[in-house]
Structure formats: C-alpha cells, structure tokens
Structure 1
Amino acid sequence: MAHPFLERLQRGPLLADGAMGTQLYERGVRPEQCFEAINLRAPDLVVAIHRDYILAGAELIETNSFGANRMKLESHGLGERVREVNRRAVRLAREAREITGIPVLIAGAVGPSGRILAPIGTVAPETIRDVFREQIEALLEGGVDLLIFETFSQLEELRQAILAAREVSDLPLVAQMTFAADGRTMAGHTPDVVVQSLAELGVDAIGVNCSVGPRPTLAVLRDMVAANTGNIPLSAMPNAGWPTVLGDRVIFGSSPEYFADFAQEALELGVRILGGCCGTTPNHIAAMRRVLDTRRGTSVSSGAAIRVEERVRPVTVLAPEGPTRLKQKLGREFIISVEIDPPKGLNPQKAIHGARMLRQSGVEFINVADSPMARVRLSALGLCYLLQHEVGIETILHLTTRDRNLMGLQSDLLGAHALGVRNILALTGDPPTLGDYPHATPVFDVDSIGLVRILTNFNNGMDAGGASIGQQASFTIGVACDPTRPDLERELERLHAKLAAGAHFIMTQPVFDLDTWLTFMRKYEERYGPLGVPVLLGILPLQSYRHAVFLHNEVPGITLTEEALDRMRRAGANGRAEGVAMARELVARALEVVEGIYIMPSFGRYEVAVEVVEGLPRKRIRGVTS
C-alpha cells in the first residue's frame, strides 16, 4: 500500500503543527479542564487552532486526542466516551482540512496513559495495551493518515502502544519520547537505547518531543543521529522553552525567531519531521516554515508549501463542442472515474492536488459531488470548472434538485454548458435534515427523473417550458441506481423512468458483491427488457472493519454483504490492504459485465483509488478488454 506520509518524507523535510493544549489554554480553557473534552463542548475552538496551524504552513496536523485514552478520560468522568472523543477529534481535524482546502496529513495523537507500569507500578503491560488499542481503533475509524505517539517517558509503555497499533493497523507510526535536562528519559534510557529499541519495533520515524526546549532537544538529536544506523527518519517537536508562572498565567519563553534557528540546526542534523510542543504557536510554525522554504526553494501558497511542479497550470481547456469525451468512450472503452468532494471552505487546493495525482495515474474522469449528506461545500460546478481548466481532466457533475427551483436549476445548467461542464449525474439529493442545516428549506420542484427530462429537452434545444434555447445542448446524462435498496420494486420503477426520460448511462451506489448488481439487472430485464445503456459500478474501498461497520449502519445508501464485513473483520491490522484487494477482485469480475467503474475513496485518500485501478485494462472493443 502507498502511504502519502512516507512518500512525502521521501521528498524532503516535513513541517508539523505546534501545541494544542497550550493553545486551548491561551484561548480560554482552564488548565484543570479536560482538553480532549473540548472536542465535544467547543468544537469550533479546536477547528480554529487546526486551521491557524495549516495557514501558518504546517503540512501535518495532530488530532486533539493526546490524553483521550480510557485511563486519563476516567478522571474527568469520560471513561465510557473514548470512541466518541477520539472520533470527534479526527472529524475536527478533517473539518479544518476541508475548510482550508489544503491537503495536509492528519496524525492521530496518542499520549501516555498516566500510569506507571509493573513491576515498579501496578498496571500490567497487557492492560495498557488494551487501553491504547481502544483509542487507536477509534482514531482509525475517524480516518487518520498516520499515528504519532508522543511525550512517552516509559519505553515499555511506548512499546505496548506500538504493539497495540500494529495489531489493528498498517498505518505509518511516529514514535517520540521525552527527555529530561540530562538527556535521559524518566526511566534513565539514553537516546541510543531509545533509537535501537524503537527501530526493532519497525516504526517509521523516531524522535523527541516536549522535553525542556530547543537547545537540549538538539543535544538529544545528535545522540540519536549517531545511533541511527538504519537511517530511520528522525522527528523533533520541542517545547518553547521551560515554562514559568507569571501571575495566573503560564509563560513559555522561546520566541518564533529562536525556533527558526532551531529548525535550521535540526535540518543540518538531518531531521525529517519538525514541529512544536507545549508553548508553541502558529507563529512558531510560520517561522520554521520560512526556514524550510528557503532551504528547498519553494514558496508558500495559501499557507502550505507546494512543490513547483504542482503549481504549474496546464494549458488544456476542456469546453467540448459536440459529444463529451465521456459520451464518446461509453461502451467503447472501460471507463474509470474517481469521486472528489468539494472543500467546505474557500480553498480548492486539496481537491485540485488530488485530481492532478489521479490524472497522472491514468484516471480520465472525476466525479464531483454536490454537497453530499446535505453539508455545505464549495459549489460542485465551480470545482468542476477549476478541475477541467487547471488540471485538464473531464468531470462528471453531480447535480441535485434539492437546492434549486425550476428556474435556478435551468440557469445552472445553461451556465454549466457554457463553462464546458457537460457530463451531468442527475440526482434528487439528500434531504437537509441529514446535514448541517436541518431546518433549511428543500426545493424539490422536480426530482431526478424530472431533471433528466429537463436535460433531454436542453439536448433537443428547448427549456422545460418548451421555449427555444437557441441551439441543441450536448449534455451527457447519467442517473444513479441503488441495487442494495430494500425496496427493489420502487428502485426498478424509478430506474426505468429515468432511462425512459433519456438517460445515457447509469452509476450505481457502492456494491460489494457483483451478484448484487447481477440480481438487480436480471430483475430489471425480466420486467422491462435490456438496460440499453452503459453501467458504471460504484466501488468503495474499505479502510478497516470499524470503517465497514460504520458505513453499513450509519451511511444512507450503503449496504455491505456479510461476506465483506467478515473479510474486513478477519483482516485485522491489514484492513486497508484487504479493502483494496476486495475492490480489485470486484472490478476484475465486473470487467465483462459493466462498462466502467467509479471509485469513492473515503477520507480523501486518492492514493487508494490509484491502488485499485493500477494495471486495469483501459480499452474495450466489441466486449473484449485489452
């Protein structure tokens, strides 16, 4: 499996964020409060801190989950809410990423249990491992990209946390310990012993965080470099000096400029991951950002470093006259499309970055969702235009009738056609009650069947009322179908009505067993005759057993088979690889049954879509793939 974090490290040093806890304190949270409970009580505050770090130039942000294990949460009466607190922590980090539109990595932060292990303490290692496993599973379910273990002072406790992670996940692991002023851990371990022990556990990066400030951290790093014979990436995230109490406030003395000097020296030692711990602020991260950019000759755009080749805009402008490229290839070539959700904020950079990566991997079409789950996002039409003009990849616009009256719907279609966005997936849309504004007024002047009729009218040169629009449009019309729906009779009737209204192709909801689609298609043909249009099968690569259970039980329109659930359960820590394997097996069976696929990667992990399509045949001639 390809891990974006590991691929990013290969390109050079990476900048992480700074402190979360002291930022919450600076913004009004009292030190005796549970900082992780702020995920539930004041989520906007957590999102704001994440956002400030991203805009300061961080390429990796940590979830507000440092102390969100059962043992620490119990002291605040939250011991039974481990899953909720950790999942919310990931959700808030992802929210900040969506709002900024910048493709940062999200690390699940895991701190120590706060207990002393036996034989000195009373807690058995197996108990500690269970505690960490519970927290890590919740972070995985939320969709983290990697895990960071930080501020551990007991090597054996860190070992148990790493073993717990390896039991349930194959995500990259960063393991960091904290050292006292004498350069040793609380238990007396030296940096060379720490490096050797963690290297044997197969972690992906080893480092030091917290401790007593930048200068002692550099001394520890020098010893780590000398002991790092395996050339494992090193990380460093020190405190902003030693804290002092001034009145009723805790003050950290190291300035952003001092951290810039630290970053320079750490980079010269070969450190690959830089960030900050207690007392550091977005200003500290911005200062280190400038050092990294100066060293590697890049610049900052919208708060995050972007490689020069990723900033170059292609000259391709897709505004086809006549049939779209999709229409020309349907039924002649095996279609591969990947779904991208627009950001929740103003910056489309993450979506553009993902589309560019997919295009370079051979994907020819991008589906752009229209505020899925009734949550406010950047205009799907606007993103389609940007992707076509900046990436040079043809899009399929999901267009819902939920938010537009009959007049606005037709105006948007005219605008889409003029902008060259002419592949339309006609949808009714999720009701507002599912989303952020449950009291918003839905429109639904027409449903998806009515939208297909409007599109067909446009292709005949008329609007919905029969008035001329000057010339015939060239929309390629897609419709959705859910073969897993319990009420198959209604789904069959609606699909037939959509096809009768003039649809050109079908896109299914996610399917996890080809027989599900074959059974539905057989029932349709028995009642209405052959479908007569190409079908793109929905493929959703699963990430873990928890992810599978969540989708099956909580996401409308997604129903997994018992076999799929069982395979993900048995996969354990190899859930991501198993999810890709299942998707590839399904596609292999589907090659001679359907005319294409569209992949819905969860959590914006477009590299998973690349894994699924790698090596697939791209041509179809008289039903034979090549």
Structure 2
Amino acid sequence: MTLLETLKTQVLTGDGAIGTVLYSYGLEYCHEEMNIQRPELIEKIHQEYIAAGADVIQTNTYGANAIKLARYGLESRVKDFNAAAITIAKRAAADGGQFVLGTIGGIRGIRKSAATLEEILMAVDEQAGVLLAGNPDGLLLETYYDFEELTATLKMLRAKTDLPIITQVSMHEPGVLQNGMSLNQALHELEALGADIVGVNCRLGPHHTIQAFEGVELPEKAFLSAYPNASLLDLEDDRVVYESEADYFGRAAVALRDQGVRLIGGCCGTTPKHIAAVKAYLTGLAPVQEKQAKPEKVQIVREAEPAKYEPLHEKVKRERSVIVELDTPRHLEIDGFIEGAKQLYDAGADVVMMADNSLASPRISNIAMGALLKEAHGVRPLTHITCRDRNLIGLQSHLMGLNALGIHDILAVTGDPTKVGDFPGATSVYDVSSMELIQLIKQLNEGVSFSGKPLRKKANFSVAAAFNPNVRVLDRAVARLEKKIEHGADYFISQPVYTKEKIIEIYEATKHLEAPIYIGIMPVTSYKSAEFLHHEVPGIKLSEDALERMKACGDDKERATQEGIAIARELVEVAAQYFNGIYLITPFLRYDMTLELMKFIEQLDEQKEGVRVDG
C-alpha cells in the first residue's frame, strides 16, 4: 500500500531528529555533507530509528539546497548530497518496507531578505529534482516559518509530481503563525493547494504542539502530522540540550493522536528512544475519525490611541515641514542637549530627531532622552531604531516601550557596523534588515507581535526610512526606496546633500513616488570637517566651490561658521523649491547654526506666501 492508503486506517510513527544524533557525536559542521563523508553513519541512524519502530523515515537533506550549502562553500554539491541521501535511506528501509520521504527544509525565518522567493524556488527545484529521481514515497516540506515561502514551494512541487507532499509549518506561539494566521486556517489553505498531509514541526515541544492542535479541525481530504521538539531547548556549557523523558514524549503522542494526528514523529532533541516510546504508546490505536475542535479565541485588539500630533508623512504632503537632528550626548551632562532641543523645537521644528548610537558609538539612550523631552519639556521626539544593537526580542521590547511612552515617530535604519565605532570588537546583531524591521513595525500597528501573537492593542507608529542619494547610480537607490515602500515605509529622510545639482537630480528621480522625502542639509563647521566628509564618509561629496570656500576661511572659526551656514542656506533655498520636507542635521551640538537655517526657511516661506498673495 502507498503512504496515503496506509494512513486511511493507521496512525504511523515517523522518525526523529538526525541532526540531534550527529550533534551528540560531536559533528557540528554541515550535516548534509555526512551523506558523502560518513554514509555508514547516516545509514546507522536510519536503522536505529527503524529498529525503534519508525514506519516513515526521512532523508538527511534538510539543508541540502544551494542557498544553505553556500554557508559552507558547498553549493555545487547539491546533486551529490541529495542523491546519496535518498540512496542511503532507501537502502536502510529496504528490508522493513518503511516509507521514505525526501526532506526539503524551509529557508526563511523572520528574515525575508535571507533569499528572494525566486532564488528559493530555484534552489528547491534543483534539490527536489534530485530527490524525485531517487523515487521516494513522498516529499516532506518541513520547518517553514514563512507561509508565503511554503505556499509558493508547494504550488511549484505540486505541478511537478503526483507523489504525496507533506507540508509542515513552524510556529513561535502555539496555534498561530508568525504572520498572525491561525494554524487551523494555514493547514486548510495548504490542503486546498494540494498538500496531502499537513502539520507542524520544530520550535515547540509536545505540550504546546498538542495545545496548537486543539484548535485544528480535521481536514476533508488531507491527513494531519506532527513532529514536535523533545522539549524547549536549554544550554549547558554552551551546548544545546533538550530535557524530555522518552516516556513523556510517548504519552504526548497519544494526545496528538486524540487530536486527529495520524503521522507522529520527532524533531530537535528527539532520539530513537523517543520514537520507541511513540511506537509503544500508539500500537493498537486506530485513527480518530471525528473531533470537536476548540473554537478559536476571538482576540479583541483595541484600536491605537489617537496620536497627539499629525503624522509627519501626512503634514509634509500638504505644507512645509522641518525635522531637526540633535545627537544625544556621549557623556552624562545633558543640560546643553536639553537646552538645544527646546530652542530648536520652540523655533518651529516639527520634531527633534535623535540617532540610535550613531557611528556605532554609545550615547545616552534616545528613548530615554525622547521621553524626557516629551514629558518634561513638551518637545516632540523622533527616534532612530537600528537593527545593529538589538536582537528580535530587544527590538520588539524597545518598540513596545516607545508606544507606551507615546513616542510614535521613528526612523528604522540598519545602523553603522560596530567596527567603525568605539568598540570595534562588539557584536553587530542584524537579526533583520531595515526593510524587514519596517515591515515588523507595521505588523505592530496591526496589533500583532513579531511572533504572530496578538498584542491586544494596535501600535501607532509613523515609520520613516533612510535614503542615501549620494551614490553613483541614483536609479538603484530609488529602486530601494520602492522596495521600502512595499515593506511599509511612510516617508523618507535623506542623508545630507551637498550640491544643488544633486537636489534637482533627486527630485527628478523620485517625483513619481507617493511617499514624501525630507532632504538632508548639514552645515560644515570647518575646512577639516568638510575634507573629512568629502574624502572619508562614503557617498558624500561636496562641490569644489564649497571646498574652496571653506578652505579660504583658514583657522578663523567664526568665518568658517558663517561660510558653512551660507553654503547650507544656498542648498536649503534649492531644496525648498522642490521639496516640502527639510531635514536639518546639527553638527557637534552647534544648534545655533541650525537655528539660523530655520530662520532662513521661515523667510523663504514668507516670501513665497507674499508672492502668492500679491499674485
């Protein structure tokens, strides 16, 4: 009988983790390479699972695609590793007649930028072609956190083969995918797309996996599968361990069967002992034909509280809007910063923007200073948030804190690498890219956690994205803006621009975009700073005229200040003709220079309004 015919009348036992067993042997490198280097070891692991009672085994090919193998420089070995794996598994199952599944693992986690969908499908197509040539009893698509990736992969493979396809999602939270979709809905959508067996694996232990299936209705045609982890993971002496007794895992298999699951195996942390317990407990139990799924809890998500201020991306579409940046101090003396922020805000800035440890050097927390400015001095803050300093846990916690403080204006940026800052040996996190961070922030605006869990209330963030126009090919930079808009960016804030021609070029290249742009202007304070910006800061070039004018100031600080302001005024005058949004960057806490520019912007607008009235 085929796998699907057998599942009509039986609950089958799957195998457990191959990687866990290899890890226990001290093999921590590319596990898929063992199909070539240590085929006898891989076959031994298959045989141990078969001896434990597995009815279904899977090939050692979870990461045997070009994208994952590229981490080890082995992307050219896809055919070798997959062909060897299917041969080894079928040889191990020959005597007992176990079903052999060709395993294909998910690639994306939270990070969609790990690979494009097109790249993923090309990699899967290559891997699946080799596995299918080995005549497996079916394909197993496992550990898919990204539902878009899984559905696209399923559609492609369903068009290529009539063999059974098993699709298994992975969840951060019981019963809900990271995009907020319920497990019940996801499994039924997979069934509708042609999956023969639908289920879950990895991340969650038995308890939470059972809990997740309580809300799953039995599919009409497909069967349910579950491959939970042995438990939640722990660390002992820097090694990953799973605390779970085999008997407990076996009893959990019965509970999964009671929820209608017909194919039950194990994922991370499971060993032949766990599978032997599953087999012992499932022996003699018939499949569940009917069940009453728990009704899905209706999570009431409150609307976000109305923001005190109009979002910048709405105001700037209609009229002049000015953002001023003032970096928080690198020391503990804050009086000068507070005074500067108050003066800039009182002079008409819409917000005072604070970077997030710019140039990878520690400064007073912008969330702390933002809260202080807002609560004690009535100043509207705009805070940067970088991908560099915080993992996903820290990012979500930071954003939830900002929302609780009523700080709704943020700029999502990648962040300068740590090697350019005060602590070059510090770790750069970069769990996500700036585009993915924007998308996750917008997910919070829907009241959904990064993990997919409801947050009971919607956030209310207006999200800016960075724009670097100082590149050789501006069209490529604009293409990035378009992608950021797709990810949810409301508006853009540019790096400083130092030529009038560049401002006009930016306008022509971006005038088709709906998301508005704030043009960055930063006055230079000396010839030395001008040379530094021109020669050492990537992408920034001053005009020859500006360099000569600053050079002519010599060591006269006051003259250099006035010349720097004069150059910036000329740039502002051009920028104001083409853009409503002006972004003034304060150099070295010299907010007196920024105040001069703000007065000039006000004069320009008054002149423009006067001309309009006279006309």
TM-score (norm 2): 0.46
TM-score (norm 1): 0.46
Bigger Rg, structure 1 or 2: 2
